[in-house]
């Protein structure tokens, strides 16, 4: 689906198609074209109308790429990632958003699940100012919203980490190795995306491209600072998860040592009983147990069953069975 917003004569309009005159070097229009899960025909606009480089078009219409920024004649091409809260398989997942930024236009491409773009669309429909500052300012609004959405996700990861840490410290309950390794994988994915995104936004903040003014560079610098903090937190979280895994494995080892200690004690207790049953099993004359010769066998069997039942109850109560 294609959404087209154009600002002309201090008014923002929703258009059904692109007028080539809006892209003319003398045009004073500001254009935003959003392609949400574009079809092959809709994707053809990138080459037929905007005349983007085939390599950038191929990247924009293909599967997920790592964040990056590239300069082409007349425009910038960016790939950035927004957080995907709808993903259920992992705690952390992202969706990429592609940007083409020119003199007076912004083209965005995504799979239809970008909350940041949906928010900015609503802003454009309500306030003319959203497009009045130009396509670079509009780009900043979208990126800033994408980065802001990272904070609730990192807090969710931290809460999950706290819960795992508490279970690991208590040293009881289910096996946490799988959950810890999944969390570690999610943090590695988060760190990989954030660092690449930080580097891309950092190039915008340093004004490496002529389309970025001083005012816009200051705004991107603020976004860059947020990404730096997120990348630092991701690094600390990875170290913390490693510590949780080591603590959990140590707790498992300690529990195993306790079990072995108890079993050793029980074996020591049964040693004289084993000697006793061995002696009574000898084919020689032995003292008679209470009840006479005919019942002493059942006395021994009863004692053995009682001891075995007591051991089973003890093991079950301590969670060893």
The pLDDT, as a whole number, for residue 275 is 65
Pick the closest to residue 18 from 33, 38, 1 (CA basis): 33
pLDDT digits (tens, 9 = 90+) for 6-26: 877 777 777 777 877 878 777
Rounded to 10 deg, the angle between the 214-280 and 177-205 helix axes is 170
What are the respective helix, strand and coil percentages of the chain, to the nearest 5?
A: 60, 15, 25
Query: Which 3 state secondary structure label does DSSP give 168?
Result: helix
Pick the closest to residue 99 from 81, 115, 78 (CA basis): 78
Q: What percent of the chain has pLDDT over 90?
A: 2
CA distance 52 to 100: 9
Q: Which residues of 248-261 are buried (b: 16+ CB within 10 A; e: fewer)?
A: beebeeeeeeeeee
The answer, as to whether pTM is greater than 0.85, is no
Helices (H), 171-317: 177-205, 214-280, 296-317
**pLDDT exceeds 70 at position 230:** yes
The pLDDT, as a whole number, for residue 100 is 92
- Cβ–Cβ < 8 Å for 221, 215: no
Q: What percent of the chain has pLDDT over 70?
A: 85
Q: Which domains does the chain have, with CATH numbers?
A: 2-251 (3.30.460.20), 269-317 (no CATH)
Query: Which 3 state secondary structure label does DSSP give 181?
Result: helix
CA distance 311 to 318: 11
What are the distances in angstroms from CA 233 to CA 79, 220, 286?
A: 23, 20, 76
Query: Mean pLDDT across the chain, nearest whole number?
Result: 79
Q: Virtual CA dihedral for 275, 276, 277, 278, nearest 10 degrees?
A: 40
The pLDDT, as a whole number, for residue 174 is 67
Query: Which 3 state secondary structure label does DSSP give 136?
Result: helix
Which residue has tokens 């007349």?
A: 74
Partners of 15 in beta bridges: 4
């Amino acid at each position: 689906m294609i959404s087209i917003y154009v600002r002309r004569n201090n008014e923002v309009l929703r258009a059904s198609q692109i007028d080539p005159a809006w892209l003319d070097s003398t045009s004073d229009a500001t254009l935003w074209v959003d392609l949400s899960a574009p079809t092959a025909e809709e994707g053809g606009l990138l080459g037929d109308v905007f005349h983007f480089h085939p390599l950038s078009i191929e990247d924009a219409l293909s599967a997920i790429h790592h964040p990056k920024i590239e300069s082409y004649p007349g425009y910038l091409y960016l790939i950035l990632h927004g957080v995907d809260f709808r993903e259920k398989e992992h705690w952390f997942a992202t969706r990429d958003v592609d940007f083409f930024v020119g003199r007076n236009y912004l083209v965005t491409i995504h799979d239809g699940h970008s909350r940041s773009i949906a928010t900015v669309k609503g802003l454009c429909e309500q306030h003319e100012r959203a497009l009045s500052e130009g396509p670079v300012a509009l780009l900043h609004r979208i990126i800033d919203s994408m980065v802001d959405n990272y904070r609730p996700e990192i807090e969710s990861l931290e809460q999950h980490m706290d819960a795992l840490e508490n279970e690991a410290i208590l040293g009881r309950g289910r096996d946490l190795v799988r959950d810890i390794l999944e969390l570690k994988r999610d943090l590695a994915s988060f760190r990989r995306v954030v660092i690449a995104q930080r580097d891309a936004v950092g190039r915008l903040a340093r004004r490496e491209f002529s389309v970025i003014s001083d005012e816009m560079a200051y705004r991107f610098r603020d976004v860059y600072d947020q990404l730096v903090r997120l990348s630092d937190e991701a690094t600390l979280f990875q170290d913390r998860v490693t510590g949780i895994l080591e603590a959990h494995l140590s707790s498992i080892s300690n529990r195993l040592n306790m079990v072995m200690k108890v079993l050793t004690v029980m074996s020591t207790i049964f040693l004289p009983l084993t000697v006793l049953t061995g002696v009574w099993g000898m084919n020689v004359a032995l003292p008679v147990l209470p009840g006479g010769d005919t019942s002493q066998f059942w006395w021994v069997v009863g004692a053995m069953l009682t001891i075995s039942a007591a051991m089973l109850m003890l093991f079950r109560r301590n969670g060893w069975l």
